[in-house]
Structure 1
């Protein structure tokens, strides 16, 4: 019995109690939940439904809890119900009901853990969005891992998600990039405000191979060639490195398209219709202070040039007009001051910022070797890049390490730790369970042990304490996924997988799955194989949500 199924049993018991006592059934919720008690001695699950309902119907909580306990105690699969404190219900399942979960998980396969909590929501999720002026740095890599994991979580809970990469290919930073490429091609030092690193020389060389005549043009024309060709090359490199990292976007959106299609004028017109624009000092301003911003924002300068914020407004409106109900944007730590103006901008369009716009901030990441930060990339010159991180610890370890921590916490990634084939390496610890469960399956086949069909499964045999602990851990997975999606916290999945791995190791050490020598295969062996395979399913499903592989061998 899964927690969700038990919650339905509890709610059905409440309906029966209300009918027996003539209580107002409209006070009953449409759904309820059960939780695992912190102290296992208190039972398998706990419900606070009696406490929630007592005031609504005017019945003392312990009296209502007593009636619920009596009704619940008659339900199939419920071994006992105890009342604690002011009206908590502590529920114990019989072994058969608890063990049946193993079969449910195996038969559900990849679907186990998915749900519909966010069904009906259409979400645009933008992350990474690095400027095309250099390789993806380690801060952007964090968003690549976390953002991709979050997109998987949102989809697993029923949301319609569109992932998006915003390519800032317009503005002064692109001009500096083009000047840097031109200088490198001419063998000159990078401009004072330009970009350095070996990658600039590499791209400049590639542009010259495409356009051998480029240096014969005047500087202005040559710079334009380096701008167009260089941005294209850098963009393809960024896409390729992200693809190798396991991250693909549904949409790659170019800022330049906003300008070329007149989207900024369109946004300006919409904001004017809403009554939030004004002219001052020859410039066009958006009155964001009406919605809590610390100052009003210029959209068009007195010289007619657009500001970056004007493009942000146009891009937000474009997403909303494409039908997305909620726009989620992931930004780095240096963009914290950006939240107020973006929320105010959303309100200026007539939206509810609490519903239609969500901004997530990620903190800094450091790569550490021998206790010291790795500060310089051989190729980028000043930053650690995606390739540097992957070269140091690999794709799986990189994705797991970056998704394992809350995004609002700075993290140090220790090269020595994350390449170690020991239990203190979190990704190794979890992947080892994936490999061990697969190995058990292969060894079982060699000795003629199979699960058999579901009808022959005897879940009541899974009565050992360690089996029960593992079943409880497996039962938590759907709730972990739903909570991680709702709170935008993929690290909850990683931490859960580590707890599950620990529960499996303790089960494996105490409960022999395979028969020894000439020992006859029994129903207990088969039941434990079901539990082994259920664990393999959940580990694989959880790692898949993080974009990490579940190896069959290590």
Structure 2
């Protein structure tokens, strides 16, 4: 019996008590009932505080209400006993057969185990990298590439329709400086003092000239534009390739240019989008500029959209981009921003309110903290290619995709991190990613050995779930049954690190099960139904570990 099934049984019992007149609930039967695993042995398989939660409304002492619920709940199939404890807690023991059935259900469900419908019907846009196409992706992008992608994965597992979006900052002065830098490198001239440095600029210049040898002979103005656009295309293609190798994929690569129409026409695109917001009553003209009255919704000051000289502000682009997302039909727009963007939270929410939306439901801003990577006790700062911050591809080469992704995913995004290369790459039980992956590989080895012995996991009518009665089997079964709730919670709270920590706990529970419960027959021992039942439990554990690792974008190796 899973926590979800027990939750349903509790709701049914409460509804029956109300229908029979045994209790009165003025606020109705709750839509959420807490069901959790007890922390202490001897307190059953699950516990709930539902009686404490409802006692005041029902006008009953909590223990009296708990007793009424317990009497009805004990009659539910699959429940062995219900004990009223303390001030009104219910400790619930599940029948061995009902608990063991979880293993069969998991194996039958396969890769879909853990998927729920808690966010079904919700269209979510999640923008988790906003970068200039003027250089390689760096460490700052790396954390969001992992966390944003993992959030998207758990949101999808919770039933949401998710679109991953990369915002390309491909407009403005930085693009001209980038083009001028590549052009200078190609012509053998000094790179502008305020231009882009690093070996990658010279690499780009060589690639651009190799692809179009005649580019250097173009007239100066035409040549500059040609270098800018060719270098832009090459650098963006490289960013796409880097992210694909890092197991991060985007559904939409949104160009800032598309918001503005032609490069010199500021009266179309963004400006036109902004004019559509006048009807909301929060735009006003003052001193020749167009403003948004964001102070109406808690911002510390009103924001300029179009300056008196006709130039658009960054906030104007942000506003038009948000309106564009909403016009594409997204119910919620999630932004993942860096540690230096705390000031954006209030203004973005105020902007959504000025656009006529609910800032608490239509827009969500998550702020991530910085990451430091140590090697031999020294912080990695310099890049061989970029000359400044270490790049994503250098990190992958140094650490590897799996350990880098898992390590960045297992911590809350709003906590600063200092990570050590040696710790992330060592193959020992002290390394969380190795610990979880090793559990999956060990299980795969057991299942291969079983095949060699002519032994398969029990299935269908040959499986007797009542055989899985050992204490360690019960602990493992309850842990596996928790997986869908962990995924749903990770999605609701935007905290994929909950999946990583769950996997580590479950891997530990599995190892303790394996140390106490012999899975394969020894020597001349004849295979039994218990061996086959335990093999099914082992297979179910492998399914959960693989599904959890997939939510983090990490592989589940069968050999290590």
Would you call these one fold, judging by a TM-score over 0.5? yes
TM range (shorter): over 0.9
CA shift for structure 1 position 528: 0.6
User: Match of 1:291?
Assistant: 297
CA contact (8 A) 1:119 1:157 kept: yes
User: Match of 1:244?
Assistant: 245
CA shift for structure 1 position 30: 4.2
CA shift for structure 1 position 124: 0.6
User: Match of 2:468?
Assistant: 462
CA contact (8 A) 1:15 1:25 kept: no
CA shift for structure 1 position 20: 4.0
Give me the whole-angstrom Cα distance separating, in 2, the residues matched to 1:4 and 1:235.
45
CA shift for structure 1 position 387: 0.5
* 1:187-207 per-position Cα deviation (integer Å, ceiling 9, x unaligned): 233322221111111111112
Matching of residues 152-171 of structure 1 within 5 Å: 152-171=153-172
Q: 1:485 aligns with which of 491, 516, 522?
A: 491
User: Match of 1:223?
Assistant: 224
Give me the whole-angstrom Cα distance separating, in 2, the residues matched to 1:227 and 1:287.
37
User: Match of 2:528?
Assistant: 522
CA contact (8 A) 1:126 1:330 kept: yes
CA shift for structure 1 position 31: 5.2
User: Match of 1:81?
Assistant: 82
What runs of 5+ residues in structure 1 fail to find an aligned partner? none
CA shift for structure 1 position 130: 1.4
CA contact (8 A) 2:503 2:545 kept: yes
SS in structure 2 at match of 1:129: strand
Give me the whole-angstrom Cα distance separating, in 1, the residues matched to 2:221 and 2:291.
33
CA shift for structure 1 position 220: 2.9
CA shift for structure 1 position 22: 4.0
Give me the whole-angstrom Cα distance separating, in 2, the residues matched to 1:536 and 1:205.
49
Give me the whole-angstrom Cα distance separating, in 2, the residues matched to 1:13 and 1:460.
25
Out of 187-196 and 380-389, give the one that drifted further. Answer: 187-196
CA shift for structure 1 position 17: 3.1
Query: What is the TM-score with the length of structure 1 in the denominator?
Result: 0.97
CA shift for structure 1 position 99: 1.4
CA contact (8 A) 2:25 2:58 kept: no
Give me the whole-angstrom Cα distance separating, in 2, the residues matched to 1:419 and 1:311.
42
User: Match of 2:104?
Assistant: 103
CA shift for structure 1 position 301: 2.1
User: Match of 1:409?
Assistant: 415
Matching of residues 296-307 of structure 1 within 5 Å: 296-307=302-313
Give me the whole-angstrom Cα distance separating, in 1, the residues matched to 2:429 and 2:123.
40
Out of 448-457 and 516-525, give the one that drifted further. Answer: 448-457
CA contact (8 A) 1:163 1:249 kept: yes
Give me the whole-angstrom Cα distance separating, in 2, the residues matched to 1:31 and 1:337.
35
CA contact (8 A) 1:130 1:167 kept: yes
CA contact (8 A) 2:25 2:57 kept: no
CA contact (8 A) 1:8 1:31 kept: no
CA shift for structure 1 position 21: 4.0
Give me the whole-angstrom Cα distance separating, in 2, the residues matched to 1:473 and 1:295.
50
User: Match of 2:11?
Assistant: 11
Give me the whole-angstrom Cα distance separating, in 2, the residues matched to 1:129 and 1:396.
23
* 1:451-488 per-position Cα deviation (integer Å, ceiling 9, x unaligned): 23221212222122211111121111111100100000
* 1:165-223 per-position Cα deviation (integer Å, ceiling 9, x unaligned): 11111011112211211222232333222211111111111122233233333443322
CA shift for structure 1 position 68: 1.2
* 1:500-540 per-position Cα deviation (integer Å, ceiling 9, x unaligned): 01001111111110000110111111111011001000001
Give me the whole-angstrom Cα distance separating, in 2, the residues matched to 1:84 and 1:21.
25
Out of 287-296 and 226-235, give the one that drifted further. Answer: 287-296
Out of 451-460 and 117-126, give the one that drifted further. Answer: 451-460
User: Match of 2:146?
Assistant: 145
Q: How many positions carry a matched residue from both structures?
A: 554
CA contact (8 A) 2:66 2:89 kept: yes
SS in structure 1 at match of 2:284: strand
User: Match of 2:444?
Assistant: 438
User: Match of 2:480?
Assistant: 474
Give me the whole-angstrom Cα distance separating, in 2, the residues matched to 1:295 and 1:189.
43
Give me the whole-angstrom Cα distance separating, in 1, the residues matched to 2:223 and 2:394.
32
CA contact (8 A) 2:457 2:539 kept: no
Give me the whole-angstrom Cα distance separating, in 1, the residues matched to 2:547 and 2:385.
36
